Structure 1
Amino acid sequence: MYIGAHVSTRGGYLGAAKKAFSIGATAFQYFPMNPRSLSTKSLNLGDAEACAQFSRNHGMLSIGHAPYPLNPAVDDGERNRMVQLLTNGLEITEACGSIGLVVHFGKYVGKDPLQGYKNIIQCLNSATRAYQGPSLILLENQAGEGAQLGLTWEEMVQVRKLCEQPLKVGFCLDTCHAFASGLWRGYDWKELEARGEILEYLPHLKALHLNDSVYPYGSRRDRHANIGTGYIGNENVQQLLASKYVKHIPIVLETRTASDGTHRDEIALVKSLVNTNH
């Protein structure tokens, strides 16, 4: 299985891949551009291609994460900026050999949530018209903090189906968000998995953010805890890790680093939970 963590790009994209490999990861996530800004980034093709080659050589999978201000649910006036960011991120993730770009589902502040969904679909359509490569937009479920969109699999599946090019859109499941939003109770993965198959969500799951939750089920609070230290617990994480849908996709920790500044021990813990399943 492909297990790893979010890593810094301070040493470039190749540096991120090497950092992940050095801590025992077989998967990693990185920010293709500044995570706090709406600025696009010029692509250092040599660095990105070296990252892709290193990842191939060491059997690693990767995903990029879009900047936090990227909001596909915004109205017309702001959409062009979001589309530019999306296409820029997709071009960089493609060059780095990554599966795709993780994008938060979106926050809509207007009175009619239906308009929010329409905005997301229009934004995704514009981006997939502009970008023709293999990198996927990976819609991430939300915790329900400050926005009520993107909490259910039904919404995410429907938005994907209504896109002009659904094959360019996949999903990234965040376990903390799923728990906080009320989607996953922790102990009921088998039932949730059966529903995810029927809804056709899980067949398009391309990445997993593996995080425990600081707050209880249904809290609508997005606070990640290290694996086994929150309200989800190791037993429930273990049940999820036994799913066939996570066997061949990147599983990425977005938790606090340990005292050594890395996720080395936590990656080893997750691997041990997988091995106990067998």
Structure 2
Amino acid sequence: MRVGAHVSISKGSHPNDDEKPPYGDLRNAVHRQVTFGGNCGQIFTHSPQVWQDPGIDSDEAEKFRSASAERLDGPWVIHSSYLVNLCTPKDGLREKSLDSMQKEIDAASQLGIEYVNVHLGAHTGAGVDRGLDNAISVLDDLSIPEAVTVLIESDAGSGTKLGGDFEHLATVVEGSEQDLDVCVDTAHAFAAGYDLSTAAAVDSVVAEFDDIVGLEHLKCIHLNDSKHACGTNKDEHAHIGEGHIGVEGMRRIVSHPALEDVPLVLETPTEDGRGFAWNIARVRELAAE
């Protein structure tokens, strides 16, 4: 089973850490993943709240690649900056988003990371069709090496944000000249109206995704429970099995035969004395039941 967490690359301590990590480079992400009990995972290459070059030197990249190959099963995923908006009708923001995505893709290639994950963003009044066309245009302008794949992440669907409907994901994957795939966030999908709270509901959503997008395009699952009810468009993650998706839904997701080869990456909270280690262990427990 490939399960891990979105971990920090920082040199200092992190809310999920018991102690300061031992390295002064990106190997801290590997160290944290192993400490939490994960064997794959996700990182930001820099603060997601700013436009920034990842700035990774060749020595640091080699150490990260070696440590990952030695201690983890993989894959790793880079999550793009929260500022990226592929759907924007604004030329300036489009160019910044394109530049940021290209830098993340280049960093992934340098680090030997297979996936770069991105939200479609918001059309901000341009309309759904125009917004999706804008996203396809940005993605088509990227230079993506063969060893890297861009994943379009499902969204909770609030406001003018796109990606909450599986049809949005399918339109972009099918319409782009790039070989794109998809990451489904369980909390986002639930917030967008896809019920995952029972075994039967999970089976129905998996079948619907396969019919609309195709399970062959599902390369990662962000496994998160939800603090809010289905269809509320509220994106707030809960501990595995302790939100509105609950134990039955989570158990079915982690044991569904069509999903067994899909890596699970947790973005669960650190609260109530529990963090990534507790949630990863919980996933393994549910899968074994």
1:125 pairs, out of 140, 144, 161, with 140
| CA separation of 1:215 and 1:259: change in aligned 2, threshold 3 A | closer
Match of 2:87?
Answer: 73
CA–CA distance in structure 2, aligned partners of residues 208 and 78 of structure 1: 28
CA–CA distance in structure 1, aligned partners of residues 152 and 174 of structure 2: 13
1:182 pairs, out of 179, 193, 206, with 193
1:250 pairs, out of 256, 263, 272, with 263
CA–CA distance in structure 2, aligned partners of residues 133 and 203 of structure 1: 17
Name stretches of at least 5 consecutive residues in structure 1 with no aligned partner.
none
Which segment drifts farther, 264-273 or 148-157?
148-157
Name stretches of at least 5 consecutive residues in structure 2 with no aligned partner.
12-24
1:170 pairs, out of 181, 189, 195, with 181
Deviation at 1:147, TM superposition (A): 2.5
Match of 1:139?
Answer: 152
Deviation at 1:198, TM superposition (A): 2.2
| CA separation of 1:40 and 1:26: change in aligned 2, threshold 3 A | same
Please state if 1:267 is matched with 2:269.
no
Deviations 1:228-255 (A, max 9, x none): 2210001101111122343233211111
Equivalent residues in 2 for 1:91-240, closer than 5 Å = 91-127=106-142, 130-165=143-178, 167=179, 169-187=180-198, 188-240=201-253
CA–CA distance in structure 2, aligned partners of residues 114 and 246 of structure 1: 30
| CA separation of 1:261 and 1:212: change in aligned 2, threshold 3 A | closer
Q: Contact conserved, 2:4 with 2:280, CA < 8 A, in 1? A: yes
Q: What amino acid is the match of 2:251?
A: Q
CA–CA distance in structure 2, aligned partners of residues 196 and 144 of structure 1: 16
Deviation at 1:102, TM superposition (A): 1.0
Please state if 1:8 is matched with 2:8.
yes
Deviation at 1:41, TM superposition (A): 2.4
CA–CA distance in structure 2, aligned partners of residues 33 and 131 of structure 1: 20
TM-score where L is the length of structure 2: 0.88
Q: What amino acid is the match of 1:270?
A: V
> Which structure's relative contact order is higher, taking Cα pairs within 8 Å and 6+ residues apart?
1
TM-score where L is the length of structure 1: 0.92
Deviation at 1:259, TM superposition (A): 6.5
* Identity score, percent: 29
Deviation at 1:105, TM superposition (A): 1.7
Q: Contact conserved, 2:169 with 2:213, CA < 8 A, in 1? A: no
Match of 2:16?
Answer: none
Deviations 1:142-168 (A, max 9, x none): 102233421111220121111012x2x
Q: What amino acid is the match of 2:78?
A: G
CA–CA distance in structure 2, aligned partners of residues 190 and 255 of structure 1: 23
Please list every run of at least 4 consecutive aligned residues from structure 1 whose deviation after the TM superposition is greater than 6 angstroms.
Answer: none
CA–CA distance in structure 2, aligned partners of residues 49 and 245 of structure 1: 35
Q: Contact conserved, 2:196 with 2:249, CA < 8 A, in 1? A: no
